[in-house]
Amino acid sequence: MTAKSMVLTVAHRLAILAYIVFALFPLFWLLKVSLTPNDLLYSEGVRMWPSRVSFDHFRFVVAHSDFPIFFRNSLIVAGSTAIVVTILASLSGYALSRFAFRAKYWIVALMLLTQMFPLVMLVAPIFKMLSPLGLTNSLTGLVIVYSAFNVPFATFLMQSFFDGIPKDLEEAAKIDGATQFTAFRQIILPLTLPGIAATIGFVFTAAWSELLFALMLISGNDAATFPVGLLSFVSKFSVDFGQMMAAGVLALIPACVFFFLIQRYLVQGLTAGAVKG
Amino acid sequence: MTHTSSTDMRVQPKRPLLQRLAGACEPYLYSAPSLVLIATVMLVPLALGLSYAFRDVQILNPFSGGFIGLDHFRALSQDQAFYRALRNTLWWTGASVFLQFFFGLILALLLDKPFRGRGIAQALVFLPWAVPTFLTGLNWAWLFNPVIGPLPHWLFALGLLDEPGNILSDPQLAMWGPIVANVWWGIPFFAITLLAALQAIPRDLYEAAAIDGAGPFQRFRSITLPFLAPTIAITVLLRTVWISNFADLIIVMTNGGPADRTQIVASYIFTQAFKRLDFGYASAISMVLLVLLLVYSMLIVLLRQTMLNRD
């Protein structure tokens, strides 16, 4: 190895390291403050690691706050949304992948359009529509709204997974007398299982993070999702930094779990329509 | 014999017709549930919202709901906060997209080179993308908080700040808070899409160019950039629209303050609807935003047409 290429390699590794530090530092700080006992919080403000670690903040948040309820609500909402969207999107994604039909162009155009226009402008009318139906302040209402927002992106994602499976499989099944739907259910779906898991992961992460509609549609503590609960906690008890950050760490866990599950499919997911980036 | 075959011929076309009909319906049956959901939860509210723009809709006022014509738009044309929000949107979108793209491209180029531990490095640098946006906002707001976060002290030590204060409450600097958070959160998006495009470039092109004596910079300019150009164009244009509508971080970190210095149009709409419960005015602003975005999309289409014609 020549001296020049040595220098280049070292510079390359250092640059990667810099990116890793930048990416992880805020999360590290979150964890650090959540583990710092209250009496050290201000005296050791900018130290990289507290001289004493305690789990008191976590214990308090889990035992004496509403965060377990928020966590459960968010799990219900994000989980149901992920399941509903994945079922709907595998059907419509299959239609886009396997059929040539007249309205296809318009369906694709409509779904692309929904990815482009500002969802924030729907906040007011959706509130007005859901409120007489009793769907504000309810987890069901959130599931319906989030499902609609995520279906277009998930459809494109599922379509890309179906496109990767050869058509001969269904054709062979149809020659044996199966209908297209049977072939879809019994042959194609099982082959798409990794894709289905990825779609569930993407939709779950998106629904877990959603903030604006949850703020607008939910007002009480009983139906509050994690972001709503955390923000109201922040505005009420804005000095309990340790507890806030312990709650933040809890909110991070499901997102990280799903991130490592869907990591392999990031490229496909981001190019399919990019619902949350 | 002849008789039966002729009835057969008369009957036979019927079944394929039915089958054809069923076959023609099939794709619609598959896509119907998704389309119905999108129509009821997105298109109907969209139409409803457009009608609110011409009506007086306030949740706290039971006598509201009447048709008021263009009053909202007249008020909007006098609204200094709205013009400020428009300028802020340009600044917020421009700075965020540029920085995300710039650092994302560098990261993609770094990760394109094979090295030991690339898989784990990739997972770690892409992790911010998975962090929920509300938590990203809170996390950075805490980092900028002089009581609990290190950033003000570091910036002060570097001489970038006169005192270790919170930039989120400084009218001149506040916008940098959400922008930095957005860049942190959005770099992975550009890095992932650009990395995918980079890995699709045939490797032998680089080898051939190296044999012909092209330096690294020359290879980047004449092989990498042309191959990346379509991906860059599409992602940057789409991201621009997306980020200009992205209000979460601002709502969480500054709520538009101090003194509307970080208010963008999207967060202004949300504030009108959520805080003031003035759905009519919020819808009027939404309509203006929609028109602006349509104009932007038309410009892109036109640009694309002229580029295609020139080639």
Q: Hey, is A132 helix, strand or coil?
A: coil
Mean pLDDT, rounded, for B15-30: 80
φ and ψ at A141, to 5 degrees?
Answer: -60, -45
Task: Please judge whether B42 and A114 are an interchain contact, meaning their C-beta atoms are less than 8 angstroms apart.
Answer: yes
**For residue range B166-195, what is the model confidence (pLDDT) as tens digits?**
888 888 899 999 999 999 999 999 998 899
Percent of chain B with pLDDT over 70: 95
B123, two tokens? 């997972």
Average pLDDT, rounded, for chain B: 87
Q: How far is B190 from chain A (nearest CA, A)?
A: 9
Q: Hey, is A131 helix, strand or coil?
A: coil
**For residue range B37-74, what is the model confidence (pLDDT) as tens digits?**
999 999 999 999 889 889 888 877 777 777 888 888 99
Residue B96 in domain: yes
pLDDT of residue A276 exceeding 50:
no
**For residue range A110-145, what is the model confidence (pLDDT) as tens digits?**
888 888 788 888 988 999 899 889 998 899 999 999
Residue B291 in domain: yes
Q: Name chain B contacts of A13, Cβ cutoff 8 Å.
A: 115
Residue B220 has a pLDDT of: 87
Residues B294 and B201 in one domain: yes
Model confidence band, residue A273 (pLDDT cutoffs 50, 70, 90):
low
Residue B311 has a pLDDT of: 61
B28, two tokens? 């619609």
pLDDT of residue B99 exceeding 60:
yes
Residue B3 has a pLDDT of: 46
Query: Strand runs (DSSP E) across B14-169, as ranges?
Result: none
**For residue range A34-58, what is the model confidence (pLDDT) as tens digits?**
998 888 877 776 778 888 888 888 9
- Cβ-based contacts under 8 A for chains A and B: 256
The amino acid present at B271, given as its one-letter code, is T
Nearest by Cα to A265 from A192, A189, A199: A199
Task: Please judge whether A116 and B283 are an interchain contact, meaning their C-beta atoms are less than 8 angstroms apart.
Answer: no
Residue B7 in domain: no
Question: Left if phi > 0, otherwise alpha if psi is -120 to 50, otherwise beta: which for B46?
Answer: alpha
B96, two tokens? 């965020």
**For residue range B116-144, what is the model confidence (pLDDT) as tens digits?**
888 889 989 999 998 999 999 999 999 99
Least confident window among A18-32, B7-21, B97-111, B269-283? B7-21
Q: How far is A54 from chain B (nearest CA, A)?
A: 17
Nearest by Cα to A83 from A75, A73, A71, A95: A75
Model confidence band, residue A172 (pLDDT cutoffs 50, 70, 90):
confident
Residue B141 has a pLDDT of: 93
Q: Name chain B contacts of A121, Cβ cutoff 8 Å.
A: 46, 49, 269, 282-283, 286-287, 289-290
Task: Please judge whether B270 and A120 are an interchain contact, meaning their C-beta atoms are less than 8 angstroms apart.
Answer: yes
Task: Please judge whether B130 and A234 are an interchain contact, meaning their C-beta atoms are less than 8 angstroms apart.
Answer: no
Q: How far apart are the first and last CA of chain A?
A: 41
Q: Name chain B contacts of A248, Cβ cutoff 8 Å.
A: 135, 138-139
Mean pLDDT, rounded, for B278-299: 90
Residue B24 in domain: yes
Residue B7 has a pLDDT of: 42
Q: What is the complex's ipTM, to 2 decimals? A: 0.89
Top-confidence residue, A271 or B164: B164
> Total structural domains in chain B?
2
Percent of chain B with pLDDT over 90: 40
8 Å CB contact between A142 and A218: yes
Q: How far is B92 from chain A (nearest CA, A)?
A: 16
C-alpha separations of B178 from A162, A253, A261, B167, B236 in Å: 39, 23, 29, 11, 19
Residue B266 has a pLDDT of: 92
Q: Name chain B contacts of A215, Cβ cutoff 8 Å.
A: 251, 274
Mean pLDDT, rounded, for B143-164: 88
Average pLDDT, rounded, for chain A: 88
Q: Name chain B contacts of A251, Cβ cutoff 8 Å.
A: 132, 134-135
Nearest by Cα to A126 from B55, B51, B54, B40: B40
CA pair distance B31, B122, nearest whole angstrom: 36
Residues in chain A: 277
Residues B116 and B195 in one domain: yes
Residue of A124, A248, A263 lying closest to B282 (CB–CB): A124
Residue A271 has a pLDDT of: 66
* CA dihedral over B263, B267, B269, B275, signed as positive or negative: negative
**For residue range B204-224, what is the model confidence (pLDDT) as tens digits?**
888 888 888 888 888 888 888
Q: How far is B108 from chain A (nearest CA, A)?
A: 10
Task: Please judge whether B129 and A208 are an interchain contact, meaning their C-beta atoms are less than 8 angstroms apart.
Answer: no
Nearest by Cα to A174 from A164, A186, A161: A186
Model confidence band, residue A272 (pLDDT cutoffs 50, 70, 90):
low
Model confidence band, residue B2 (pLDDT cutoffs 50, 70, 90):
very low
Task: Please judge whether B193 and A271 are an interchain contact, meaning their C-beta atoms are less than 8 angstroms apart.
Answer: yes
Nearest by Cα to A225 from A204, A239, A207: A207
Model confidence band, residue B14 (pLDDT cutoffs 50, 70, 90):
low
Cα-to-chain-centroid distance, residue B306: 25
CA pair distance A265, A183, nearest whole angstrom: 25
Q: How far is B3 from chain A (nearest CA, A)?
A: 30
Model confidence band, residue B15 (pLDDT cutoffs 50, 70, 90):
low
Residue B1 in domain: no
Nearest by Cα to B179 from B93, B266, B271, B267: B93
Task: Please judge whether B33 and A104 are an interchain contact, meaning their C-beta atoms are less than 8 angstroms apart.
Answer: no
A74, two tokens? 């968010």
The amino acid present at A158, given as its one-letter code, is M
User: In 10 A of CB A271, how many CB atoms?
Assistant: 18
Residue B5 in domain: no
Q: Name chain B contacts of A180, Cβ cutoff 8 Å.
A: 26
Using the Cβ of B34 and the Cβ atoms of chain A, whether some distance falls under 8 Å is answered with yes
Q: How far is A141 from chain B (nearest CA, A)?
A: 11
Beta bridge partners of B55: B67
8 Å CB contact between A32 and A50: yes
Residue B23 has a pLDDT of: 76
Residue of B42, B269, B270 lying closest to A148 (CB–CB): B42
Residue B57 in domain: no
CATH fold for the domain made of A63-271: MetI-like fold (1.10.3720)
- Where does residue A175 rank: exposed (0-12), middle (13-18), buried (19+ CB within 10 A)? exposed
Residue A12 has a pLDDT of: 93
Percent of chain A with pLDDT over 70: 96
Residue B8 in domain: no
Residue A119 has a pLDDT of: 87
Task: Please judge whether B49 and A124 are an interchain contact, meaning their C-beta atoms are less than 8 angstroms apart.
Answer: yes
Residue A71 has a pLDDT of: 93
Using the Cβ of B111 and the Cβ atoms of chain A, whether some distance falls under 8 Å is answered with yes
Helix runs in chain A, H state only: 3-35, 38-41, 56-64, 67-98, 104-116, 123-130, 139-163, 168-175, 180-183, 189-191, 193-209, 212-217, 226-236, 241-262, 266-271
Residues B28 and B165 in one domain: no
In sequence order, the 6+-apart residues with CB closer than 8 A to the CB of B94 are: none
Mean pLDDT, rounded, for B211-239: 86
Residues B140 and B216 in one domain: yes
pLDDT of residue B12 exceeding 50:
no
Residue B149 has a pLDDT of: 87
Q: Where do the domains of chain A lie?
A: 3-54, 63-271
Domain that holds residue B211: 71-310
Model confidence band, residue A275 (pLDDT cutoffs 50, 70, 90):
very low
